[in-house]
């Protein structure tokens, strides 16, 4: 068993109902990797592995995990069931399936009873789940939290620079049309 204070152990658990969810959930893992956050990934089905799922949720904090990201499609019970047995924050990712485009999963995950909170991202939003886990870890007062906050500030700055570059490229393309006007209403 990993000590809750072992910095080499995983800090975030990424679990899903089936390995078929991995193509979506991989984005959460890649995001955590981008920020240097250790994680584990596994299949923990709420319906096919109920006892193991309960064990995973009840023991997660004793193994050093600080956040759980749970992805599920269809009935999507995994995030809520884990949230009901763990003291850790749980982030639910609705995984889109062939039918209903993940709306069933989204509605299942967000409709939790009082006292069983699950933070929920968009359908297929595993990257944002990873980023929310990073922000959760960055909310602390330790050295890792401070380091993550610095990385998040740089990340946000990069996002803004990308958006500005896209705007510049769009304006450059649009200004070749006769009726284009800049924001000030003038022809460039």
For residues 8 and 177, what is the distance between their CA atoms, to the nearest angstrom?
A: 57
CA distances from 152 to 75, 86, 136, 159 (A): 33, 27, 11, 10
**C-alpha dihedral sign at 97, 124, 50, 1:** positive
Q: Is residue 146 annotated as involved in ligand binding?
A: no
Among 98, 92, 75, 80, smallest CA distance to 20 is for 98
Q: Are 86 and 57 in contact (CB under 8 A)?
A: yes
Q: Is residue 21 annotated as involved in ligand binding?
A: yes
Q: Is residue 33 annotated as involved in ligand binding?
A: no
Tokens of residue 157, six digits: 């700055």
Tokens of residue 130, six digits: 């990873």
Q: Are 59 and 3 in contact (CB under 8 A)?
A: no
Specify binding-site residues for substrate. 18, 21, 48
Specify binding-site residues. 18, 21, 48
């Amino acid at each position: 068993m990993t000590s809750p204070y072992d910095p080499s152990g995983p800090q975030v658990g990424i679990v899903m109902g089936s390995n078929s969810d991995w193509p979506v959930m991989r984005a959460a893992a890649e995001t955590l990797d981008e920020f240097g956050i250790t994680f584990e990934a596994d299949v923990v089905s709420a319906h096919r592995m109920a006892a193991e799922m309960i064990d995973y949720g009840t023991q997660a904090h004793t193994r050093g995990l600080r956040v759980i990201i749970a992805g599920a499609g269809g009935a999507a019970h995994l995030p809520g069931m884990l949230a009901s047995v763990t003291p850790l924050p749980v982030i639910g990712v609705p995984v889109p399936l062939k039918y209903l485009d993940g709306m069933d999963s989204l509605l299942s995950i967000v409709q939790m009873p009082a006292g069983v909170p699950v933070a929920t991202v968009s359908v297929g939003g595993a990257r944002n789940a990873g980023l929310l886990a990073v922000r959760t870890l960055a909310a602390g007062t330790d050295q890792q939290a401070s380091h993550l906050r610095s990385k998040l500030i740089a990340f946000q700055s990069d996002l803004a620079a990308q958006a500005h570059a896209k705007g510049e490229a769009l304006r450059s393309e649009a200004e070749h049309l006769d009726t284009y006007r800049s924001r000030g209403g003038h022809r460039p």
